[in-house]
Every structure is written in structure tokens, then in C-alpha cells.
């Protein structure tokens, strides 16, 4: 098999020579086409003026750069009417005129550029054995022509963040061909309206719940049915639901907390203050062992006849301690002194009041002071806390409240799912949530009805559903209802038509990926090129 075939070089090339160094493969060739044609008049010419060598970069081979040295001819154009007298034979379509790289290399660099961007692109081409620069890559991307937008019947429109919370752009998708039509540098109604204006053929506009795209479609595509996207509808509903569940879960936490505080004080059960925790116990044990070792050393040194002063210096304890230990004759176990506090004489009274249901320490303090005892609030608080079931560091602090069985965000998920989609543990959670309050149970029914309406595309039930929510008087859902009322036509279309913005969301994700790769010099025009020509 010939080199020409392996390297997929054009037929009119005749290979003259191959030269290989560590990183460059040089292929010398001659163009052998019969009679080169004048690029202007198209007539073949047989009269050769001269020859010269074109240097071309081609696709790499085995990790080496490939350099093509092609001998081409300059010819005379003998057509009397042609203004071109001398021309160079063309190598198209393999190489464009004046180009220094083959078309296939040009294309590959463009593709790598689209996939990676400038800087990363150079790192990739380096490893592939292609010599280029990031500027060249960016130039190739920017050189891609924008395809004209054809007829669109279903338009999907959504925003994406350049900088979250600050600057946004707009993505436009043909929902039937799944093609990105364009990206716009902002999400203003006017910009989107200006784009839509030239497309009077649009029948359906699928959009989010914001007012801007609705207004744009209203002004520039009044013929189109607006369709509120189901994903955004569900997001809105779940936001309202989250607020609702937070309220009920907070109420649940307070309830559980009150119950736990109602447990009797340990004074009342005849127990002392809580024991040391394991870490404290371990530390005091270690300290005791160290002290015991010192004691044994003191006794041993004394038996050897050392003086007390010498022993104290040797062992590293005070003279008084050595003296005391030797006087006692046994190791004195350190006993923590029985802590007495000013509250101790009143503990029984306090326990009684606690039993009676007064769990407010400030109140207990006031009562003790009123009875003529000199006690500070701090004193009462500190002493009493030691007797509380789990201790109580900060009165009423949220961190001390028992955890809710689930976060509101997770609970929303459980409520929104269909029962048959739930795992066993989520079903238990659902049962618990529904038992929290009749209102939660009612909200669950409503949410499931909405979900079903959305799933079975039965938008005609929307009015009845909205009425049910109004009657339920669930505070947080009223906001959702009001929002739907403002945009009812589009919501009903969203609940009825099969159109979905899901694909737009997918494209937005892809765009985000491209956006994040385009750090550095990349601006909106480059991002637009990369999105429109994404692989």
C-alpha cells in the first residue's frame, strides 16, 4: 500500500520523498494534475511559467507533526479576455488558496476549539502533535458562519446566568428540531421581542413563569400560544410547599421540645447532677495515674535516704506536697470537694415548682428572690441546668431543640412524588408528615391532584383545583394560586399541551459547561459561537 493512500492524500499528488525526524514527518510531493485551470476564467493552461514549493501543515501522524512540501506550477493564462496573466495552480479542495494548513487540519483545530476553547485547546493540540496557538483556535471558532434560522413552530425560551443573581442571558431553542437557535446577551423583554418579531410562524412559545418572556411573546408573537413550562410550575409549587412545611415542622419541633422539657428534674428523682462525660473522666484518670507515679517515686527516694528538698527537686513536685505525702504514709486520693451552691438549700422548692409545670428559669429566679433569698439569676441558671435532663446550654436556642424528623426541602420531595414511586422509608415519612396536622394532609391531597393534572395533561381541571386551594385557606398555597391566576392561560396550556421546556433546560446545562470552560478572554461572542456550533 502506498504512503499516499495511508495518509489519504489527493490523487494528483505524487510522493517524491519521505523524511522523518523525532517529531516531524516531512512528505515531499508534486502536483500532477494535467492542465491547471485559471481560477478566473476557468480555462486550462498548458504553458508553465515557473514552479515553486508550497509548505503545508497536515494532520499529525503517530504523534509527529506532518509537513507537506508540494511542488506546484505557475502557468500563463492564454485567454485573451482574461485579466489574469499568470496564476498558481490550485490544490482545492484539499487546501484552500493561500492557506498554510490543509483543510482537514483546519477543521480538526476548529472542532477541538469548539470542544475545549482557546487555552485548553492548545494543550490538547500540543499532545496530538498539532502546532497551533490559542489565538488561531479562537479565530477559527469565530470564523464559523452563523446558520440562518429557518421556520420555527415551537420555540423554547429560558434564561441562564452569566453571573448568578447578577447578569443573565437568554437561550432560544427550536423544540422540534432540538437545535439551539440563538443566545441573547440579556433576558430583557425587548431583546427577546426583537428576536421573535422576525418569526411570525411561531405557534407555541414555551417559557418560564417570569413576566419578561411572556411580555415579549405577547408583543412580538401574539399569534402564538404561550405555554408555562411544567418544570417551572412544579418548582413554584414546591417553593410554596417548602414554606408551608417549614411552618408545620417548626411547630412540631416546638411541641416535641415542650414535651421533653416536661420530664422531671433529676433532683426530683433523687439523683445528683449528671456524671462527668467520658472525655473528662479519661483526663482525670490520667492525671491520677501520673500523681500516683510521682508519689511512689517520692516514697522510693525517701527509703534511699534523700532529703525532702532533694526529693522535691528530683520528682518535680512542691516541698509541701512531699512533706504531706510522707506524713500521711499513703497515697491521698484526690476527692473533688462536694460543690455547694447557694441554690442547694432551695433545690426541693425548685423541684416542686418544676413538677408543677414552671419550666422558666427566669420565673423561678424571680420567685426565689421574692421569697427573700439573695441569688443571682446566673447562679440559679447554672445550678439548675446541671439537673436538666440533657443539660440546657442556651435557653430556647434552636440548636438545642430536637431535630425535626426531616428537612422541609426533603419533605417537599416526599409530598410531590406519587405514592408508588416512594421507597419504604419515604412512605413512613409521608405517613408521619400527614399526621402532623390535618392541614398537611389536605395540602398533600391538593398537591397530588395538581401533579396528576400535570401528568395526564388535564388542564381543564385547573379552575376547579384553584377553587379547592382557595377554600382550603392554606396560607402558603394562596401565593401560588395568585401567581397562576395572573398567568392562567399559559398555565392551562402548559398543563394541556405536550410541549415541554425540558430540552431547553438540557441545553442550558450544556451552555453552563461551555461557559465555565471559557474563562480568560472569552466573552459573549465566543460563548455564542461555541453554543451555536456545539458538537
Q: Tell me phi and psi for residue 89, to 5 degrees.
A: -65, 140
Mark the segment that binds Zn ion (CB under 5 A) among 14-22, 36-44, 164-172, 511-519: 36-44
361-370 vs 347-355: helix axis angle to the nearest 10?
Answer: 130
Distance CA(152)–CA(466), nearest Å, equals 33
Shortest separation between residue 42's beta carbon and Zn ion, angstroms: 7
Shortest separation between residue 199's beta carbon and Zn ion, angstroms: 45
Distance CA(60)–CA(24), nearest Å, equals 9
> How many residues of this chain interact with Zn ion, rule: CB under 5 A?
7
Shortest separation between residue 87's beta carbon and Zn ion, angstroms: 7
Residue 84 interacts with Zn ion (CB under 5 A): yes or no: yes
Closest CB to Zn ion among 87 and 213?
A: 87
Shortest separation between residue 35's beta carbon and Zn ion, angstroms: 12
DSSP strand E in 21-139: where? 24-31, 48-61, 64-76, 86-88
Closest CB to Zn ion among 78 and 367?
A: 78
Distance CA(484)–CA(497), nearest Å, equals 17
Closest CB to Zn ion among 69 and 82?
A: 82
Shortest separation between residue 95's beta carbon and Zn ion, angstroms: 20
Binding test (CB under 5 A) with Zn ion, winner from 14, 18, 20, 40 = 40
Q: Cell triple for residue 217? A: 411573546
Q: Cell triple for residue 340? A: 455547694
Mark the segment that binds Zn ion (CB under 5 A) among 74-82, 223-231, 238-246, 308-316: 74-82
**Is the distance from CB of 230 to CB of 208 less than 8 angstroms?**
no
Cβ neighbours around 97 below 10 Å, total: 10
Mark the segment that binds Zn ion (CB under 5 A) among 8-16, 22-30, 73-81, 157-165: 73-81
Cβ neighbours around 25 below 10 Å, total: 20
Shortest separation between residue 137's beta carbon and Zn ion, angstroms: 36
Distance CA(207)–CA(221), nearest Å, equals 13
Closest CB to Zn ion among 79 and 238?
A: 79
Tell me the torsion sign for CA atoms 285, 287, 292, 293: positive
Binding test (CB under 5 A) with Zn ion, winner from 37, 41, 144, 256 = 41
Distance CA(462)–CA(449), nearest Å, equals 10
Residue 88 interacts with Zn ion (CB under 5 A): yes or no: no
Closest CB to Zn ion among 49 and 468?
A: 49
Binding test (CB under 5 A) with Zn ion, winner from 9, 27, 38, 193 = 38
Mark the segment that binds Zn ion (CB under 5 A) among 24-32, 40-48, 187-195, 494-502: 40-48
Closest CB to Zn ion among 75 and 233?
A: 75
- Per DSSP bridges, beta strands 86-88 and 179-184 are unpaired
Mark the segment that binds Zn ion (CB under 5 A) among 78-86, 191-199, 330-338, 386-394: 78-86
Which residues, including other chains, have CB under 8 Å from residue 439's CB and lie 6 or more apart?
248, 472, 474
Residue 37 interacts with Zn ion (CB under 5 A): yes or no: no
Q: Tell me phi and psi for residue 208, to 5 degrees.
A: -80, -165
Closest CB to Zn ion among 41 and 111?
A: 41
Dihedral, CA of residue 179, residue 183, residue 189 and residue 195, to nearest 10: -70
Closest CB to Zn ion among 89 and 229?
A: 89
Mark the segment that binds Zn ion (CB under 5 A) among 80-88, 89-97, 292-300, 524-532: 80-88
Q: Cell triple for residue 212? A: 419578561
Q: Interface residues for Zn ion in 297-316 (CB under 5 A)?
A: none
Binding test (CB under 5 A) with Zn ion, winner from 9, 75, 77, 180 = 77
Mark the segment that binds Zn ion (CB under 5 A) among 76-84, 225-233, 406-414, 464-472: 76-84
Closest CB to Zn ion among 80 and 498?
A: 80
Closest CB to Zn ion among 13 and 87?
A: 87
Closest CB to Zn ion among 47 and 107?
A: 47
Cβ neighbours around 63 below 10 Å, total: 11
Distance CA(171)–CA(149), nearest Å, equals 14
Q: Cell triple for residue 461? A: 381541571
Closest CB to Zn ion among 34 and 356?
A: 34
Mark the segment that binds Zn ion (CB under 5 A) among 35-43, 56-64, 318-326, 336-344: 35-43
Mark the segment that binds Zn ion (CB under 5 A) among 28-36, 82-90, 244-252, 379-387: 82-90
Q: How many residues does the chain have?
A: 535
Of 241, 300, 263, which Cα lies nearest the Cα of 443? Answer: 241
Can you tell me which residue has the cell 430556647?
396
Shortest separation between residue 38's beta carbon and Zn ion, angstroms: 3
If phi > 0 it is left, if psi is from -120 to 50 it is alpha, else beta; for residue 455 that is alpha
Distance CA(526)–CA(517), nearest Å, equals 12
Interacting residue ranges for Zn ion, rule: CB under 5 A: 38, 40-41, 77, 79, 82, 84
Amino acid at each position: 500500500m502506498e504512503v499516499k493512500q495511508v495518509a489519504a492524500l489527493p490523487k494528483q499528488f505524487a510522493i517524491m520523498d519521505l523524511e522523518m525526524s523525532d517529531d516531524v514527518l516531512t512528505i515531499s510531493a508534486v502536483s500532477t494534475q494535467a492542465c491547471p485551470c485559471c481560477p478566473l476564467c476557468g480555462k486550462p493552461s498548458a504553458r508553465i511559467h515557473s514552479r515553486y514549493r508550497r509548505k503545508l501543515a497536515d494532520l499529525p501522524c503517530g504523534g509527529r507533526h506532518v509537513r507537506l512540501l508540494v511542488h506546484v506550477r505557475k502557468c500563463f493564462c492564454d485567454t485573451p479576455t482574461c485579466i489574469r496573466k499568470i496564476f498558481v495552480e490550485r490544490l482545492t479542495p484539499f487546501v484552500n488558496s493561500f492557506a498554510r494548513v490543509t483543510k482537514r487540519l483546519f477543521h480538526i483545530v476548529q472542532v477541538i476549539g469548539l470542544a475545549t476553547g482557546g487555552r485548553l485547546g492548545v494543550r490538547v493540540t500540543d499532545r496530538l502533535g498539532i502546532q497551533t496557538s490559542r489565538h488561531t483556535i479562537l479565530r477559527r471558532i469565530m470564523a464559523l458562519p452563523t446558520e440562518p434560522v429557518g421556520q420555527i413552530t415551537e420555540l423554547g425560551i429560558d434564561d441562564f446566568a452569566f453571573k448568578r443573581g447578577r447578569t443573565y442571558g437568554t437561550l432560544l431553542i427550536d423544540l422540534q428540531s432540538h437545535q439551539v437557535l440563538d443566545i441573547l446577551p440579556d433576558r430583557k423583554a425587548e431583546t427577546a421581542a426583537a428576536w421573535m418579531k422576525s418569526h411570525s410562524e411561531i405557534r407555541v412559545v414555551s417559557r418560564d413563569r417570569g413576566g419578561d418572556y411572556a411580555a415579549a411573546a405577547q408583543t412580538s408573537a401574539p399569534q402564538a400560544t404561550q405555554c408555562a413550562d411544567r418544570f417551572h410550575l412544579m418548582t413554584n409549587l414546591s417553593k410554596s410547599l417548602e414554606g408551608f412545611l417549614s411552618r408545620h415542622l417548626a411547630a412540631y419541633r416546638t411541641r416535641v421540645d415542650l414535651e421533653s422539657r416536661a420530664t422531671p428534674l433529676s433532683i426530683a428523682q433523687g439523683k445528683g447532677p449528671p456524671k462527668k462525660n467520658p472525655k473528662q473522666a479519661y483526663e482525670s484518670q490520667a492525671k491520677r495515674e501520673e500523681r500516683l507515679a510521682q508519689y511512689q517515686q517520692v516514697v522510693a527516694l525517701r527509703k534511699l535516704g534523700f532529703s525532702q528538698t532533694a526529693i522535691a527537686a528530683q520528682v518535680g513536685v512542691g516541698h509541701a506536697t512531699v512533706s504531706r505525702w510522707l506524713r500521711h504514709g499513703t497515697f491521698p486520693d484526690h476527692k473533688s470537694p462536694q460543690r455547694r451552691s447557694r441554690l442547694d438549700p432551695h433545690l426541693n422548692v425548685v423541684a416542686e415548682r418544676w413538677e408543677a409545670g414552671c419550666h422558666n428559669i427566669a420565673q423561678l429566679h424571680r420567685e426565689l428572690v421574692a421569697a427573700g433569698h439573695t441569688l443571682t439569676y446566673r447562679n440559679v441558671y447554672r445550678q439548675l441546668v446541671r439537673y436538666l435532663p440533657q443539660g440546657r446550654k442556651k435557653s430556647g436556642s434552636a440548636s438545642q431543640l430536637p431535630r425535626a424528623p426531616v428537612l422541609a426541602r426533603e419533605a417537599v420531595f416526599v409530598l410531590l412524588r406519587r405514592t408508588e414511586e416512594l421507597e419504604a422509608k419515604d412512605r413512613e415519612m409521608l405517613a408521619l408528615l400527614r399526621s402532623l396536622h390535618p392541614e398537611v394532609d389536605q395540602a398533600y391531597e391538593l398537591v397530588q391532584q395538581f401533579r396528576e393534572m400535570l401528568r395526564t395533561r388535564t388542564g381543564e381541571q385547573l379552575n376547579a383545583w384553584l377553587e379547592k386551594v382557595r377554600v382550603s385557606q392554606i396560607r402558603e398555597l394562596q401565593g401560588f394560586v395568585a401567581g397562576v391566576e395572573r398567568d392562567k392561560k399559559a398555565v392551562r396550556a402548559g398543563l394541556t399541551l405536550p410541549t415541554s421546556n425540558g430540552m431547553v433546560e438540557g441545553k442550558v446545562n450544556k451552555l453552563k459547561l461551555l461557559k465555565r470552560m471559557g474563562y480568560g478572554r472569552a466573552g459573549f461572542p465566543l460563548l455564542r459561537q461555541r453554543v451555536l456550533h456545539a458538537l
